[in-house]
Amino acid sequence: MIEDSFPPLNSTFLVPFRYTVHFTKDIFSPTNHCLSEFFVSEKKEGSTKKALVVIDQGLLVHNPDLVSKVRSYFKGLDSFVQLTEDIMVIPGGEDCKNDPKVWESLVDAVDRYGIDRHSYIIAVGGGAILDLVGYVAAISHRGIRLVRIPTTVLSQNDSGVGVKNGINYQGKKNFLGSFAPPVAVFNDLLFLESLDDRDWRSGMAEAIKVALIKDKDFFLWIESNAEALRNRDLEKMSYLVHTCAKLHMDHIAKGDPFEFGSSRPLDFGHWAAHKLEYLTNFSLRHGEAVAIGMALDSEYSFRIQFLPEGDRNRILSLLKEIGFSLYHPKLSEGEKKNLYLGLQEFREHLGGKLTIMLLHGIGIAKEVHEIDLKTLSSAVDFLEENL
């Protein structure tokens, strides 16, 4: 038999990734060298690198001169990186991930301007723009160098410093996407000043999440500074962003960066949040939905005697003090059937058995593989009645 003559061939290899997240203020100011030094350091003999810049339209309200500021910034850098003729300005928010025409306009720009694998796409904006542009960068020429400049709390401390991208397809969130680390990230704190209160607040949900599952000291710090954070203290917020980004990045680098396994520890509070975002037609911000999801899973953790009562009280108090609502009527809609469906969808999303992260204490997470629906229901009722 022929099949006996040829042994199987095994291929085993490790692919190295490396990127740096920089923290700065007013990145496109002529006196700020953070970004220019990056391009100078990337210079290679004999190559001409181009850069296509994509800017979130929403930024222009508070930064009307942003496009011309970007152009001026790159003027002296021609021998290191050349901007394309156009800077693209596209509307941000979830809608940009829904419309295939926006995706296509970006791919066309990559083609038109001859952006090759060693050139750059620089995305400036919130999480949705970064997801979309990251996806375009990942699949064009099998991967163009992506530089992210996240401009919201959520993208600076969570999604923008991670390794995922994606767009929606036929209404399915992140149905198309990939794991593709950026080559560099620049968190510009100045952009946070012009966020509206909802965006300022909702980005903090992921910081509370990562504190709850990984770092009690960070939780204590957020507790002590809750009032200042709510009142838009930029120094405190910078510390929160830096610490959350660090915990998030450490988790990725030390864990399973491309999520080959089924465990998803960073998804604490997220199963209900995903469903709520969908049920509210995304009128809830991601962080607002995550805050409710964390309240629910903390309350559930308490009710199944995982989480001590004192810890549960502190968690719910902190979420309220930051300014989050901890209940939404959609949780109970249809005798909670929609919520239960959310559990099932989360299991399908994981592609294996149900795995839900709960809390044994502040900073102590533990996975479970089943959820008691009666207890879950009573936890929802508690949130409705008390919060």
Q: How far is the CB of 125 from a copy of itself (least distance, A)?
A: 20
Instruction: Give yes or no for residue 14 binding a copy of itself (CB under 8 A).
Output: yes
Instruction: Give yes or no for residue 220 binding a copy of itself (CB under 8 A).
Output: no
Three-class DSSP category at 36: helix
The HSE-up count of residue 5 (CA atoms within 13 Å, CB side) is: 2
Burial class, 368, CB count within 10 angstroms (exposed 0-12 / middle 13-18 / buried 19+): middle
Tell which positions 45-64 bind a copy of itself, by CB under 8 A.
45-47
Options 160-168, 204-212, 272-280, 288-296: segment touching a copy of itself (CB under 8 A): 160-168
Tell which positions 361-380 bind a copy of itself, by CB under 8 A.
369
End-to-end alpha carbon distance in the chain: 71
Work out which of 19, 73, 221, 340 binds a copy of itself, going by CB under 8 A.
19
Work out which of 30, 37, 64, 107 binds a copy of itself, going by CB under 8 A.
107
In the structure encoding, which two tokens stand for residue 312, read together? Answer: 């549960």
Instruction: Give yes or no for residue 85 binding a copy of itself (CB under 8 A).
Output: no
In the structure encoding, which two tokens stand for residue 307, read together? Answer: 């989480």
Instruction: Give yes or no for residue 350 binding a copy of itself (CB under 8 A).
Output: yes
Instruction: Give yes or no for residue 105 binding a copy of itself (CB under 8 A).
Output: no
Instruction: Give yes or no for residue 221 binding a copy of itself (CB under 8 A).
Output: no
Work out which of 105, 194, 238, 332 binds a copy of itself, going by CB under 8 A.
238
Instruction: Give yes or no for residue 246 binding a copy of itself (CB under 8 A).
Output: yes
Three-class DSSP category at 336: helix
Work out which of 176, 220, 304, 368 binds a copy of itself, going by CB under 8 A.
176
State how far the Cα of 190 lies from the Cα of 374, in Å rounded to an integer. Answer: 47
Looking at beta carbons only, is 329 or 351 nearer to a copy of itself? 351
Instruction: Give yes or no for residue 119 binding a copy of itself (CB under 8 A).
Output: yes
Instruction: Give yes or no for residue 114 binding a copy of itself (CB under 8 A).
Output: yes
State how far the Cα of 96 lies from the Cα of 91, in Å rounded to an integer. Answer: 6
Instruction: Give yes or no for residue 141 binding a copy of itself (CB under 8 A).
Output: yes
Looking at beta carbons only, is 367 or 384 nearer to a copy of itself? 367
Spatial CB neighbours of 128, under 8 Å, sequence gap ≥ 6: 92, 93, 94, 95, 96, 97
DSSP designation for 87: P
State how far the Cα of 239 lies from the Cα of 79, in Å rounded to an integer. Answer: 36
State how far the Cα of 318 lies from the Cα of 208, in Å rounded to an integer. Answer: 9
State how far the Cα of 214 lies from the Cα of 249, in Å rounded to an integer. Answer: 12
Cβ atoms of 337 and 275 within 8 Å: the answer is: no
Work out which of 172, 198, 337, 360 binds a copy of itself, going by CB under 8 A.
172
Instruction: Give yes or no for residue 257 binding a copy of itself (CB under 8 A).
Output: yes
